[in-house]
Amino acid sequence: MRILTIDTSAVASAALLHFDPADHLRTVEVVANFATEDTRSHAEVLAPGVQSLFTEPVNEGPALDAIIVGTGPGPFTGLRAGIAMARTLSFTWNIPLYGLMSLDALAQQVFDAPRKNDAGRAVGPLAMNDFIIATDARRKEVYWARYSAGAQLLDGPHVGPADGVPALQVFGAGAGLYRDVLEANGAGVYPLFADAQPTAVELGRAAARKIIAAGSLEGAGLLDSTPLYLRESDAKVPGPRKRAL
């Protein structure tokens, strides 16, 4: 199975992945990927970035089984850029489109990461118990969700101040930004994941894990492409003019 994944909930990123849904032991292959470090130039870099993933002509549509887009949570402008791109490609290429919460991408990365001893040897999974994924929501807030040690979503997503995050191990850029607040409330921050952002590669691995477990795209429990903004837009439709008299 060949999938294109796009995530712009934080940085702009896209990836092309290949895997066999019937083979639970085979590693997911990342065929190509790109990601920026800039969180404010999604619209400018996304289209050429996606095009760079393919070696074959894409005018009439590449050989893909699905497009999977990160649905956030994330800021309006960046998130819209990725979802609009995914919907456009799905329609133009006539390829099924699915959504997946972007925080799941970081949860998958934590699940895949080993816990190491002082000698640098892997001694088990990094997350031994429930953990939190937190990303930057700006306005001195974080987007966060709670996961089991197996990276299964238990609660969320939410948006709010860092002091409202449960006292568990916290991973992601939100943890790095508000480390003092989190630790003061009893949460733990893992330094190597304190600036991690969701990317399309990890989103693809999370999607592949669901597809392999289900044995098919249709049974994987993936979402539609509805964005998870979690906040109302700052832009408001003007109301009627007030009478002067």
d(CA 50, CA 37): 16
- Give the pLDDT of residue 231: 75
Chain segment 182-203, per-residue pLDDT in tens: 999 999 998 889 999 999 999 9
Query: Could you tell me if 88 and 7 lie in one domain?
Result: yes
- Read out DSSP for the chain? -EEEEEE-SSS-EEEEEE--TT-SSSPPEEEEEEE-S-SS-HHHHHHHHHHTT-SS--TT--S-SEEEEE--S--HHHHHHHHHHHHHHHHHHT--EEEE-THHHHHHHHHHSEEE-TTS-EEEES--S-EEEEEEEETTEEEEEEE-TT--EEEEEEEE-GGGS-SSEEESHHHHHTHHHHHHTT-EE-GGGTT----HHHHHHHHHHHHHHHTSSTTS--B-S-----S--S-----PPPP--
Q: Is the residue at 241 inside a domain?
A: no
- Give the pLDDT of residue 45: 86
Total-model pTM = 0.89
Query: Could you tell me if 17 and 38 lie in one domain?
Result: yes
110-149 CB burial, b ≥16 within 10 A, e <16: bbebeeeeeeeeeeeebbeebbbbbbbbeeebbbbbbbee
What are the Cα distances from residue 221, in Å, to 26, 37, 191, 227?
Answer: 21, 30, 32, 16
Average pLDDT over residues 225-244: 70
Query: Could you tell me if 95 and 204 lie in one domain?
Result: yes
- Give the pLDDT of residue 156: 92
Average pLDDT over residues 32-51: 82
pLDDT band, residue 134 (cuts 50/70/90): very high
Span of 2-11, 55-64, 77-86, 98-107 with lowest mean pLDDT: 55-64
pLDDT value at 82 more than 90: yes
d(CA 47, CA 26): 30
Query: Could you tell me if 137 and 32 lie in one domain?
Result: no
Average pLDDT over residues 144-154: 95
Query: Could you tell me if 123 and 42 lie in one domain?
Result: no
Query: Could you tell me if 57 and 167 lie in one domain?
Result: no
Chain segment 53-62, per-residue pLDDT in tens: 998 776 667 8
Sign of the Cα torsion 153, 16, 94, 227 reads positive
d(CA 99, CA 78): 16
Total domains, the chain: 2
CB atoms near residue 13 (< 10 Å): 30
Query: Could you tell me if 66 and 123 lie in one domain?
Result: no
Query: Could you tell me if 92 and 207 lie in one domain?
Result: yes
pLDDT value at 18 more than 90: yes
Query: Which of the residue ranges 59-63, 110-114, 163-167, 209-213 has the most confident prediction, judged by mean pLDDT?
Result: 163-167
- Give the pLDDT of residue 77: 85
- Give the pLDDT of residue 122: 75
The CATH number of the domain where 149 resides is what? 3.30.420.40
